[in-house]
Amino acid sequence: MDGIEVSDRLWRLTLEHSPVGMTIVSPEGRFLAVNQALCRMLDRPSEVLLTLTFQEITHPDDLALDLELLATLLADKVPSYRMVKRFLRPDGEVVWGDLSVALVHDDDGSPLHLVSQVMDVTQQHDDRARLAETEARLDRQLRRAEAIFDSVDVGLVLIDADGRYESMNRHHEALMRVGYPDGHAGQAGQPGQVFGEDGRTPLTREDMPTWRAARGEEFDDLRIWIGVTAEERRALSVSARSVRDANGLFHGAALVYKDVTDYLRAMSVRDEFLSAVSHELRTPLTSVLGHLEIANELPDLPAAVAHRLAVIERNALRLDALVADLLEVARQREGRLSVTRTDVDLTDLVAQAVEAVRPAASLAGLSVVIEPQESLQAPVDPGRIRQVLDNLLSNAVKYSEPGGVVRIAVSPVDDEAILTIADEGLGIEEAELDRLFTRFFRGGEARSRQIPGTGLGLVLVRAFVEAHGGTVDLTSKAGVGTTVTVRLPL
Ligand code: ADP
């Protein structure tokens, strides 16, 4: 404190112990007195600071403004000034300080010295910079998300836990105008021009995708139709996912609506074409088979001709089976599959089916084993269940390798008949399992080994069993084997 006249001890104490940096500076800028807080902040001992001027420790970019403000102070235009500026530490580090400067005059009114206080605001400054950066990043992300939300060509909807629409993208707004020509109240479950997969049955509130999603249900590929006129009708495939917080509490749901109109129309054209073609094939094929029968009965057929006729007949029968499958699939698609039940002994049906497949099995080097079971009466359509058995046994044989065993069992469990057909064959890749019951689907192994088939067998098996009120399950492991379990209500 030497060199300055400060009489008041209290003032000295305040200066020394203040947490705020304090200094007395000559009008030219030389430090005349500094407190400990300032020394700590600038990382310089007082004896060093007292040899310096404030100009020397001010960041060059902030100096001009500081000097300009000082000039207005010295010219008595303002009583004090304040600025946030950067101070330089000896190691080159920057300290942000909130500086306020006042001018003390002597008795004649000329400038005597400057009294300055500096508060270290580096932390706040850094925090604010980080905050601004985070806000900018969030803003960028939000804009990006909004751009994606609005530009994707699927409808997107967010609903809250009470089923209120929180937001939807532009694509979905267009879909809403088709499904709700009279407007929508923004609440999940509002009935409108919205129909089930058949395109005819209006959806009730409880069937609406939004209603189900608002109840926490998650689903994929739920097919609905919207609109009434042929030009505006759209088929949509809807998926829903719940939105939950870190504690798993339900906050609402996100729904995605994908337009599958063209896909479904193409499918339906394909199915109609196949159904028409199979109908057309039926008549000439029946005629071929009829004439073959007559030809086979002709007396004195040369052996070579009889042999050729047998080949023709085998192939005509294969074609006939294929056409029959296609017609069944068409029937199933149109909901015209019927079952005529009578009481049948399932063990008899199994025995007959096994006898029918035995020639093919022994040709393939396989044995077929029936697990013993006493007679089991069931109210089923014998023709349909025979088709189920034939298809499953034929698959077990087709997709096995020589030496394998095919086991078939039927037994009553509670009020169901359980039929299992297990093979030790090629098995099915896990990735294919959920597509097996799709029309025309054929496994990779089936295609690469060129094992004949159409991809209709399992579809028909499921359709026939479900028409009986039963279920079909298939478990399989590639390279190990496949087991199909059919449950039929007794
Ligand atoms: P297809 O046998 O005419 O191809 P299916 O509908 O009966 O048609 O079967 C569909 C696909 O499922 C088959 O192509 C095959 O990949 C697979 N598959 C069915 N049964 C078996 C089985 N027992 N073992 C291995 N793969 C099977």
Q: What is the pLDDT of residues 285-344, one digit of tens each?
A: 999 999 999 999 999 889 999 999 999 998 999 899 888 888 888 888 877 888 899 999
Distance of CA 134 to the CA centre of its chain: 28
| Largest CA-CA distance found in the chain, in angstroms, rounded | 150
**Is 426 touching ligand 1 by the criterion CB < 6 Å?**
yes
First to last CA, the chain: 108
Give me ligand 1 centre to Cα 358, in Å.
Answer: 19
Domain 265-333 has CATH 1.10.287.130: yes
Distance of CA 27 to the CA centre of its chain: 70
Q: Which residue owns the Cα nearest ligand 1 atom 15?
A: 443
**How far apart are alpha carbons 189 and 241 in whole angstroms?**
16
The hierarchical CATH code for the domain 342-489 is 3.30.565.10
Give me ligand 1 centre to Cα 479, in Å.
Answer: 14
Which residues have C-beta within 8 Å of that of residue 237, sequence separation ≥ 6? 221, 222, 223, 257, 258, 260
Closest ligand 1 atom number to CA of residue 421: 23
| Average pLDDT of the segment spanning 341-349 | 94
Pocket test for ligand 1, best of 368, 428, 448, 476 (most atoms within 8 A of CB): 428
pLDDT band at 140 (very low <50, low <70, confident <90, very high): very high
Q: Which residue owns the Cα nearest ligand 1 atom 11?
A: 442
Give me ligand 1 centre to Cα 394, in Å.
Answer: 9
Pocket test for ligand 1, best of 390, 421, 423, 458 (most atoms within 8 A of CB): 458
- Per-residue pLDDT of 47-101, as tens digits, reads 999 999 999 999 999 999 999 999 999 998 999 999 999 999 999 999 999 999 9
**Is 483 touching ligand 1 by the criterion CB < 6 Å?**
no
Q: Which residue owns the Cα nearest ligand 1 atom 8?
A: 455
| Average pLDDT of the segment spanning 386-408 | 96
**With 70 as the cut, is the pLDDT of residue 147 above it?**
yes
Contact 261, 233 (CB under 8 A): yes
Q: Which residue owns the Cα nearest ligand 1 atom 20?
A: 395
Q: Which residue owns the Cα nearest ligand 1 atom 7?
A: 457
**Is 252 touching ligand 1 by the criterion CB < 6 Å?**
no
**Is 397 touching ligand 1 by the criterion CB < 6 Å?**
no
Question: In this predicted structure, what is the pLDDT of residue 1?
Answer: 47
Give me ligand 1 centre to Cα 281, in Å.
Answer: 25
Q: Which of left, alpha, beta for 468 (phi over 0: left; psi -120 to 50: alpha)?
A: alpha
Q: Which residue owns the Cα nearest ligand 1 atom 17?
A: 443
- Per-residue pLDDT of 172-188, as tens digits, reads 999 999 999 999 999 99
Question: In this predicted structure, what is the pLDDT of residue 95?
Answer: 96
pLDDT band at 7 (very low <50, low <70, confident <90, very high): low
**Is 458 touching ligand 1 by the criterion CB < 6 Å?**
yes
**How far apart are alpha carbons 173 and 210 in whole angstroms?**
15
| Average pLDDT of the segment spanning 3-10 | 60
Average pLDDT over the chain reads: 93
Question: In this predicted structure, what is the pLDDT of residue 383?
Answer: 92
Task: Give the residue among 26, 53, 195, 184 at the shortest CA–CA distance from 112.
Answer: 26
Give me ligand 1 centre to Cα 142, in Å.
Answer: 48
**Is 436 touching ligand 1 by the criterion CB < 6 Å?**
yes
223 forms beta bridges with: 237
- What are the domain boundaries of the chain? 3-120, 152-259, 265-333, 342-489
Sign of CA dihedral 138, 139, 144, 150: positive
Secondary structure class of 186 (helix, strand, coil): coil
Closest ligand 1 atom number to CA of residue 458: 6
At 292, the amino acid letter reads L
**Is 453 touching ligand 1 by the criterion CB < 6 Å?**
yes
**Is 423 touching ligand 1 by the criterion CB < 6 Å?**
yes
Q: Fold match between 3-120 and 152-259? A: yes
At 148, the amino acid letter reads I
For 457, phi then psi, to 5°, come to -55, -55
**Is 278 touching ligand 1 by the criterion CB < 6 Å?**
no
Give me ligand 1 centre to Cα 378, in Å.
Answer: 27
Question: In this predicted structure, what is the pLDDT of residue 5?
Answer: 57
**Is 59 touching ligand 1 by the criterion CB < 6 Å?**
no
**Is 164 touching ligand 1 by the criterion CB < 6 Å?**
no
pLDDT band at 8 (very low <50, low <70, confident <90, very high): low
Domain 3-120 has CATH 3.30.450.20: yes
Task: Give the residue among 47, 51, 52 at the shortest CA–CA distance from 36.
Answer: 47
**Is 428 touching ligand 1 by the criterion CB < 6 Å?**
yes
Give me ligand 1 centre to Cα 400, in Å.
Answer: 11
pLDDT band at 17 (very low <50, low <70, confident <90, very high): confident
Question: In this predicted structure, what is the pLDDT of residue 6?
Answer: 52
Question: In this predicted structure, what is the pLDDT of residue 330?
Answer: 84
Question: In this predicted structure, what is the pLDDT of residue 372?
Answer: 84
The hierarchical CATH code for the domain 152-259 is 3.30.450.20
Give me ligand 1 centre to Cα 455, in Å.
Answer: 7
pLDDT band at 3 (very low <50, low <70, confident <90, very high): very low
Give me ligand 1 centre to Cα 459, in Å.
Answer: 10
